[in-house]
Structure 1
């Protein structure tokens, strides 16, 4: 049996379509492929974005800049020394873009002007650190990306 050009083109299209369908079905049913949004409540967070802008602005205006330092023990967050550490409250969020199961949130309570995030809770790679903190009724926000 001889295959002409028309039949060859149709066979090539059918093979290509079959490959694409196989690829789409396999990727949509595979558990290793994570198809989640960046955050669970993406739209609610988008509406609260102006509050984040205001908190970042107030941190700059009041000189409440935080400093991060990587060491062998982990990541140390240094708060401004002019603030009483016992009056600082808030939340530290560690976001891992590649795996939502590694994300960490923990409350902020200080006895010194620095906070250590231990090395055993961090995996090598990129982390987005967000610190929402309050001091005497003022809200502050600190965001930074780092590679650990």
Structure 2
């Protein structure tokens, strides 16, 4: 019985079957599982073999095309597409817009004082969605 990784676990035939599965639209991890290797092994070989890395890139692009993925923010968020030409910049821009809107909303919100519209019982807003005060404790006296 030998220990460790088999020497020929990712031979040329296995690589070809892996690339064929990826080009057919199968996700990378699922394609690795389909050919009987660990999901990290193809990435390991792609880092060391530039020709194989290019072949994987081409197969991934073809597979996305065959799966009918439309590039954009939704493909980044839901389809896990990380292409640097369309999906990543679209998601980055959309995230920046959402943060800017939230910032404007936060800047426009005003804190009501203890004697605001709700009367003296109005408490300042809490950043937490729940109260840290126990309902069993009596209310704290307010400073005058």
State the TM-score, normalizing by the size of structure 2. 0.23
Indicate the structure whose relative CO is greater, using CA pairs within 8 Å and at least 6 residues apart: 1
Q: Write 1 or 2 for the structure with the bigger share of strand.
A: 1
State the TM-score, normalizing by the size of structure 1. 0.23
Specify the structure having the higher radius of gyration (Cα).
Answer: 2
Q: Write 1 or 2 for the structure with the bigger share of helix.
A: 2
